[in-house]
Structure 1
Amino acid sequence: MKTNVVAVINQKGGTGKTTTTINLGSALSKLGKKVLLLDLDPQSNLSYSLAVTNPSATLADVFQGDKSINEVMVEKNGLWVVPGSNELVDIEISLVTQPEREKFLQSILAQAKGFDFILIDCPPSLSVLTLNALTAAQEVLIPLQMEVLTLQGLDQIMNTVQKVKKAFNAKLKIKGIVVVMFDVRRKLSLEVLEYLQENVKEKIFRSQIRMNVKLAEAPSFGKSVLDYDASSYGARDYTALAAEYLEA
């Protein structure tokens, strides 16, 4: 079985990156795919959002060589989760001085067998941990709000991906941009989307993730929005995105 490793990245915080990782993963799972979510962010928002709050071991233990990735996986509502922790800050500092520091995660993920998708929730920065994710991944997914400042950040992401592709991972490609927190009533949202469609050569998914209160509520219950309220706009939008992702 070929595992598709996807790095979900945006160097800004609060851009729907964790929300997209969880809910796209959940939607893919409900479409019959076996999915592993990897919490690479020291803030551990993904782990918290799925109620993985006191794991016996985390991804930091795997980086340190104390555990294998298979020993730290936790199953939640049909998804497998490798929890993060604040200790990833120390891991990042220690990686800076290591030879081939960008390849640690690649070696770790080689131990994870039998998954159709591994989705990596990256830190909100273009850091050594993010570099590890991009080196390990085949595809990059970029969640993007329709705000003016996100356009500047998009250029940074694309430049970083191209540098990683050239230096470490020739197979890396941008799968596409997913529009998140979309409000069709806002003129600015429509203007930024139109600008992207006219000026960015990368794929922009047709399935847009609309503003939806259920998406904000779901983490409080430790669930994806599909498990929290399957009839909500959020659940329907991520289901549509998952189907489109599989077709792309």
Structure 2
Amino acid sequence: MPTKIVSVINQKGGTGKTTTTINLGSAVAALGKKVLLVDLDPQANLSYSLGITEPEGTLADVFTENRQLTEVLTERSGLKVLPGSNELVDIEISLVNQPQREAYLKNILKEAKGFDYIFIDCPPSLSVLTVNALAASDEVVIPLQMEVLTLQGLGQILATIAQVRDTFNPKLKVKGIAVVMFDKRRKLSQEIEEYLHENIEEKVFRNRIRLNVKLAEAPSFGQSILEYDRTSYGARDYLALAEEFLSGK
């Protein structure tokens, strides 16, 4: 099977984007797939959450051709990780005036061999780096909290995906919207989920990620939720989501 590249995207911070990248990737790996996580966020939250605080090299070094991709890969939780850093801010600025600036990450990831899935943790903005991720990807996963303002943001995300599809990457598709931080006690959560099913054409994954304190604790220990507490609701929810993700149904 050729490598599938999946962007995990939400232009709003604090929406479970990094948590989903780590734990969906970890769950897909636990189900027998070879997975690479790419930290494209200049805040490097994914790297930090997996205990990668002082990597020997980062994605920024690969962008500047100071290091090869294979030289900076790090292993954590049964996954390979391409660490990020705040130097990606400088990379983004430098890309603005480059010809074919949207194709840099796609060319970099051609060097990533032997993986079934590559999950990209995108910046919390619809930026040049995010467009690079979308131009390189086959699919997009959108983590979404059940809050009113997220619906407005969802429209912007879908418009950007459509624009990238029309301009750079005709194969790009939305794999699904993942409902995260779901609290069944809140009527609003259920109302927004119903709205999504009734008004959004894209697939909404059946398996929700419930609000779970263990998910919030795991990054403090530099672990995925499957490592930190495999019996938790968070671990069970991400494994169920991974099974649905892989089934394609």
TM interval, shorter chain, is: over 0.9
Report the equivalent of 2:194: 194
Asked whether 1:109 is paired with 2:109, we answer yes
Report the equivalent of 1:62: 62
State the one-letter code of the partner of 1:7: S
| Secondary structure, aligned partner of 2:56 | coil
Report the equivalent of 1:160: 160
Aligned-pair CA distance for 1:5: 0.1
Identity, % of aligned pairs? Answer: 70
Distance of 2:87 and 2:80 partners within structure 1: 21
State the one-letter code of the partner of 1:180: V
Aligned-pair CA distance for 1:67: 0.9
Report the equivalent of 2:45: 45
Gaps of 5+ in 1: none
| Secondary structure, aligned partner of 2:162 | helix
Report the equivalent of 1:26: 26
Aligned-pair CA distance for 1:172: 0.3
> What are the residue-to-residue correspondences of 1:149-188 with 2, within 5 Å?
149-188=149-188
State the one-letter code of the partner of 2:142: I
Distance of 1:204 and 1:39 partners within structure 2: 25
Structure 1 length-normalised TM: 0.99
Distance of 1:244 and 1:70 partners within structure 2: 30
State the one-letter code of the partner of 1:38: V
Report the equivalent of 2:239: 239
Aligned-pair CA distance for 1:68: 1.3
> What are the residue-to-residue correspondences of 1:198-217 with 2, within 5 Å?
198-217=198-217
Structure 2 length-normalised TM: 0.99
Residues 112-154 of structure 1, C-alpha deviations (whole Å, 9 max, x = no match):
0000000000000000000000000000000000000000000
State the one-letter code of the partner of 2:86: N
Report the equivalent of 1:8: 8
Aligned-pair CA distance for 1:77: 1.8
Report the equivalent of 2:132: 132
| Secondary structure, aligned partner of 1:239 | helix
Aligned-pair CA distance for 1:69: 1.1
Aligned-pair CA distance for 1:46: 0.2
Residues 155-187 of structure 1, C-alpha deviations (whole Å, 9 max, x = no match):
000000000000000100000100000000001
Distance of 1:132 and 1:71 partners within structure 2: 21
Distance of 2:61 and 2:68 partners within structure 1: 8
Asked whether 1:97 is paired with 2:88, we answer no
Distance of 1:147 and 1:25 partners within structure 2: 25
Report the equivalent of 1:77: 77
Distance of 2:193 and 2:120 partners within structure 1: 25
Distance of 1:77 and 1:8 partners within structure 2: 19
Aligned-pair CA distance for 1:200: 0.4
Distance of 1:141 and 1:25 partners within structure 2: 12
